[in-house]
Amino acid sequence: MKRKNDNGPYNIFAETELKVEFFHCDPANIVWHGNYFNYFETARRILLEKIGYNYIDMIKSGYVFPIVSTSIKFIDSLQYNDKFSVKAILEEYENCLKIKFEIKNIKTDLITTEGVTTHMAYNNETKESCFVCPQILVDKVEAIINGNKQ
């Protein structure tokens, strides 16, 4: 399934290249389905670093962002030694943190996997879920958006 990549409504994304390791695979030499979430996590970390609000910054600001929902669509499989890219695309940042993912086999240039994770801000001090993202995250994202428009 080859198609044009979508960089989301805010054009904020991060992409990295990885290689399937032997320990990622099931007995059929195909990536075990649960490992795709590890690939998503790597791209999400890079995206948050690009935004300037990494996991340490979140904790220092008093928030964490647990996953409240996820979906994944397996289109084709990755196998041992395949090189692939993982792209994390910011889809929402005001009420929740929603990130879309695309995994593409570098050799075939085909998208093999798509996914979405939705995260809710959780205030570590008050121990309460937040129904809007903290202003620190909103400000950092909007600074990038405004920089992209220049």
Q: What is the pLDDT of residues 98-139, one digit of tens each?
A: 999 999 999 999 999 999 999 999 999 999 999 999 999 999
Which region among 22-26, 46-50, 118-122, 145-149 has the lowest average model confidence (pLDDT)?
Answer: 145-149
Neighbours of 7 (CB within 10 A): 14
User: Which residue type sits at 94?
Assistant: E
CATH topology of domain 13-148: Thiol Ester Dehydrase; Chain A (3.10.129)
Q: What is the mean pLDDT of residues 7-23?
A: 96
**DSSP 3-state percent helix, strand, coil across the chain (nearest 5):** 25, 35, 35
| E strand map for the chain | 13-19, 63-64, 67-74, 83-92, 97-105, 110-119, 122-123, 128-129
The span from the first CA to the last CA of the chain, in angstroms, equals: 34
Question: Which pLDDT value is given to residue 150?
Answer: 47
pTM: 0.92
